[in-house]
Amino acid sequence: MNYTKILFSAALIFNIYIIEAQSIVIKNAMIFDGINDNAFTGNILIEDGVIKKVSKSSIQGDTIIDAEGKIVTPGFIVSNTDIGIVEIGALSVTKDDQSSIYSIGFSIHDAFNPNSTRIPWNRSNGITSAITLPRDTSSPIGGLGSFFTLNGSLQIDSLPDMVMIGRIGGSSSSSRSEMLALTDDILSFASSLDVRDMKSNADINQIINDSPLADYLELQSRDVKALFRLIDDKLPLIIKANRATDILKLLEMKKKYNLNLIIMGAQEASLVAKQISSSNTPLIINPINNIPSSFDELASNINLSSRLEAEGIKLIFSSGGGQNSHLVRQGAGIAVANGMSYGGAIRALTSNVADSFNIARRGLIKPGNIADLVIWEADPLEPSSMPEKVFINGVDMDLTTRSTRLRDRYIKNLDKPNTYRD
C-alpha cells in the first residue's frame, strides 16, 4: 500500500517534470490567436511553458496532439471576479474580499486560495487566469486587485496589486457630486506625492499629518503608498460607473491626472461613445446585462457591445463574478448574436484584457508568449461546448472538478451503498 503510494507520488512528480521538459505540439488547430479577426489552421509548439513556434507548416515535438477541426484560443482571462478570495458568497467566513482597517491600499493578494473549488470549476470552462478584485472599500477610490493564473499551485503565480478600483454613482446616502469631489481630492493628493518625501514610514506619517484629507480619511501608510503607485506607476484604475454624466466626468479626471483609466459597468456608454473612443479608455462590460437595474443604467441595451465596437472602443468582457465568472463566454456569444464581430468578442476575453492591464506575454497565441491555451470541442462562444484541453503555463491541466466528481458519485456504481462509492 505504502509502496504503491510512494510509486504513485514519484510518478506524479516525474510526470510534471516530463510535461515541463518535453515539447508539445498542437497540430491542425483552427487558431484564433486573440488578435486577428479570422482563424487560421496551424500548429503550435509549446516548450518550457512557452509558445515557441506558431506555424502553418508541420512541427516536430515529443507529444503531438491532433486538434483537427478544433478551435484553439488563448486561455480566457476574467477581469472582474472574486475567484480565490471568496469560496461561498453567502458565507462570510469563506470571504476575504474586504477590510475594516485599510481602504485605498487594501490588497487581497495574500488571501488568494489556490485550493478554492472555484479554480478548477472556472478552469474547466476555459478560464486560465483572473484579475481578482476586492469589494468596494469605504473610499470612492481604493482597494487593490491582483492577477492570478488558475493553475491551482500553492506556489502562487501572480502579479500582485496590479490594479486599483473605485466607483462613482447614485447612492442612497449622498450626492454623486460629493463622490466626484472626493475622488478629485484624493487624486489631487496622490499627484502631490513625491518619492523624495516618502523614504520611511515616518515620512509618510508626516505627509498624512500634513494633509487634512488624508487625516479625515484616516489613511494608513500603505494607503498612501498605493496612491503614489497609482500616479507614478500609472497603475490601471478601474472605476465602476454607469451613468453617461459620470463617464464624462471620469474622462475629464483621466486627462487631468493622466490616469490609466478603465471604466467598468458603463451601461450608458453608448450615449457618450465618441468621447470614450477619443480618450482611448477601455471599458469592462457585461455584454449580457441589459437590465436597467438602477436609474444610472437606463440606457442598458443588449446591443451595447456592438455599438461600442463600432466606435472603436477597446472592450473587455466580464460576468457576474465568482462561480459564474466563466459565463463570460456565453455573454460573448450573446454579444456576437447581437451584432458584435466574432474576433472582437475573442479579443474582449483575451488580448484586450492583457493589453489594458499590462499583463505581459499572455492573452495572445504568438511565439514567446506563455502557453495559456484552450482546445475547444466546438465553438468556444457556444456555452454548450467545453474545453477538451486547457494549458496553463504550458502544463496540460486536469479538468476534473468537484462537480464532475459529485456527478459521477450519483450516476456510477449505483448498485453500491453510498459508503462504498468514490
Partner 1 sequence: MKNYKKLKITTLFIILLSFINISSAANSTPFESTYEPMPQTNTLFRGANIYDGEGNEFLDTDLLIKDGKIIAIGKDLPASSEFTVVDAAGKWITPGIIDIHSHMGVYSAPGVTTSSDGNESTSPVTADVWAEHSIWVQDPQFALALKGGITSFHVLPGSANLIGGRGVTAKNVQRNTINSMKFPNAPHSLKMACGENPKRVYGNKSQAPSTRMGNIAGYRKSWIKAEAYLSRLDEYESKSEEAKELSYKPTRDLELETLAGVLRGEILIQNHCYRAEEMAMMIDIANEFDYKITAFHHAVEAYKVADLLAENNICAAMWADWGGFKHEAYDMVQANVAIVDQAKNGTGCAIVHSDDEIGIQHLNQEASKALSAGLRAGFKITKARAMKWITSNPAKAAGIFDQTGSLKVGKNADVVLWSKNPFSVYALAEKVYIDGAIAFDKEAGIEPSSDFDIGILNPNKNRIQE
Please say which residue, 164 or 276, places its beta carbon nearer to partner 1. 276
From 1, 90, 101, 202, residue interacting with partner 1 (rule: CB under 8 A): 90
Q: How far is the CB of 290 from partner 1 (least distance, A)?
A: 6
Please say which residue, 101 or 291, places its beta carbon nearer to partner 1. 291
Distance between CA atoms of 54 and 67, rounded to whole angstroms? 14
Please say which residue, 201 or 294, places its beta carbon nearer to partner 1. 294
Closest by Cα among 161, 129, 135, 162 to 148? 129
The C-alpha cell at 143 is 482597494
Distance between CA atoms of 82 and 98, rounded to whole angstroms? 11
Closest by Cα among 393, 397, 398, 360 to 49? 393
Q: How far is the CB of 52 from partner 1 (least distance, A)?
A: 33
From 64, 111, 248, 299, residue interacting with partner 1 (rule: CB under 8 A): 299
3-state secondary structure of 188: helix
Distance between CA atoms of 86 and 130, rounded to whole angstroms? 13
288 binds partner 1 (CB under 8 A): yes
Within 10 angstroms of residue 388's Cβ, the number of other Cβ atoms is 15
17 binds partner 1 (CB under 8 A): no
Q: How far is the CB of 213 from partner 1 (least distance, A)?
A: 32
CB 65 within 8 Å of CB 315: no
Closest by Cα among 48, 41, 53, 110 to 391? 48
From 41, 192, 400, 404, residue interacting with partner 1 (rule: CB under 8 A): 404
202 binds partner 1 (CB under 8 A): no
Using H for helix, E for strand and C for coil, what is the string for 375-406?
EECCCCCCCCCCEEEEEECCEECCCCCHHHHH
154 binds partner 1 (CB under 8 A): no
403 binds partner 1 (CB under 8 A): yes
From 138, 221, 300, 341, residue interacting with partner 1 (rule: CB under 8 A): 300
293 binds partner 1 (CB under 8 A): yes
Q: Contacts with partner 1 in 232-271 (CB under 8 A)?
A: 271
330 binds partner 1 (CB under 8 A): yes
- Interface with partner 1 (CB under 8 A): 87-91, 117-118, 121, 172, 271, 288-295, 297-301, 322-324, 327, 330, 333-334, 336-338, 381-386, 403-404, 406-407, 410-411
